[in-house]
Amino acid sequence: MALGILAPVAQAQMLYTDSSPSPNTITHTFDISPKAPQPPIMKYRLLPSHYELTPGNASQLYHRAILLTSQHTANMENPMEYWQKVDQWRSTPLESFPIDEVETLLNTHNGALREASYAARRSYCDWELPTREHGTDIFGVLLPEIQEMRTLARLLSLRIRLRIAQGRLDEAFEDLQTGYAMARHVGNRDFLVNALVGIAIAGIMHEQLLEAISQESTPNLYWSLVNFPSPVIDIGNAVDVERDGFLIMFPELLEAEQAIGDQVYWDQKLTEVITRTRQLVSASNIGDPQGVKEWEALAYRTAVFSQVPRVKQELVEKMGFDQEEVNAMPGSRAILLYSLNNYKRLRDEFLAPLGLPFYQAVNFYPDDNRLSSNITSGDPIALASLLLPSSVQVQRASVRDQSWVDMLRATEAIRDHAAKHGSLPETLDQVDGLPIPMNPYTNEPFIYTRDENDPSQATLEETQSHLPHRFEITLRQPKSN
């Protein structure tokens, strides 16, 4: 389910306080060689070129790749152990990388990875999800293929590492192009779950791109990173769908703007909305296999109807509705009308800042407590608390992904500086060649420290995200003749 699972997953994985950096820093230790960009300065592009694209929809080929992968692993006695080994190898240092064993495993997935490569070079990707067919259950659309794309990305990531270990850099970058195209084909679509999975796939590719950058033979990729899409995953379409998806889920709310129907009519409409809302709550409550209990549903419905007097009063005093019109309307219609206007107000407060850079938007995000308090003193149906929090979490994930790319670009600027001056810079201010991007969380420089005792070592880090990145950089010494 697109929405029911998203809110708890997003909160569990990405909720954090920007002013209190997490201690769970992810450290990447690697060597770099002094190297300035050399013509052709964009030899290795990070997405397929336009002339490589073939007309057609990529999703069909991705489905073929997913099917081929699942067929291979379907009859394994211990598939979890198999994938744990894949993930272990994806981070194994190259000096101890088991090339022959990895190549044997990947040969069994050649067909799936070939289909993925073809798909990444199609002109567009439309997953053709049955959103219209689901009607009011739009957020009940299942997305198994989107989740399985992460499995393909894990295999592709392992092959990129294999090709780097074998010194086959051209082929490694072809696979990186495939991986980044996959991330965008998944992420730039209809639901926030798509965006989260796309961001996760991009992160898998970033890890191998860093491995490539650390190779002595790799040219400086600064201009390839500059011309990489920013952000890698555009969450705008998914946010738009989630922003107005409730109008599809709850058409009764828009209908409440019309002075039609009697008490019985609106009581039935409100009951339908309550039932649908409770079903969503039950679907997101993974630990409750029993779903919505009848007595709980009755108690909830009674509690909602009991708030008619307060709702009617606030429609007049806080939302500007006419007193006589409100007094005349059925209480159930008043609740639906209140829910509609309350949701729109909170929706705009939460989502309007998404159009700003994160370092500015964070100053405008309402406190999440606004939603929890709204359950008891605001919207009786609590639609805002059900639908809004995940949107902000996805922007935070998107910014963390962007900080990855910006730190890679900063690393290439440092390599350029080292090529010109023979050493790592003491501070980022000393880098006088290629511009270094600011930390997208703060619009301030990344934290950079050169080791006082060993000037060939330095750290580059951001500290604001839930899982901060820290680059521990060692400058290779020139080989003596």
- At 398-430, the pLDDT tens digits run 999 999 999 999 999 999 999 999 999 999 999
Chain segment 302-350, per-residue pLDDT in tens? 888 888 999 999 999 999 999 999 999 999 999 999 999 988 888 888 8
Is the Cα dihedral 170, 174, 180, 183 positive or negative? negative
Question: In the chain, what are the domain boundaries?
Answer: 44-218, 248-392
Chain segment 465-476, per-residue pLDDT in tens? 888 999 999 999
Q: Is 70 exceeded by the pLDDT of residue 283?
A: no
pLDDT at 387: 66
Q: Which of 133, 381, 428 is nearest to 280 (CA)?
A: 381
Burial of 376 (0-12, 13-18, 19+ CB in 10 A): exposed
d(CA 474, CA 476): 6
Q: Are 411 and 425 in contact (CB under 8 A)?
A: no
Q: Name the average pLDDT for the chain.
A: 87
d(CA 22, CA 34): 32
Proportion of the chain above pLDDT 90, given as a percent = 64
d(CA 419, CA 417): 5
Chain segment 75-105, per-residue pLDDT in tens? 888 999 999 999 999 999 999 999 999 999 9
Within 8 A by CB and 6+ apart from 55, the residues are 122, 123
Q: Are 209 and 374 in contact (CB under 8 A)?
A: no
The predicted model gives 115-130 an average pLDDT of 96
Q: Which residue has the higher pLDDT, 408 or 11?
A: 408
Phi and psi at 472, nearest 5°, equal: -105, 110
Burial of 456 (0-12, 13-18, 19+ CB in 10 A): middle
Helix (H, G, I), strand (E, B) or coil at 260: coil
Q: Are 121 and 54 in contact (CB under 8 A)?
A: yes
pLDDT at 381: 76
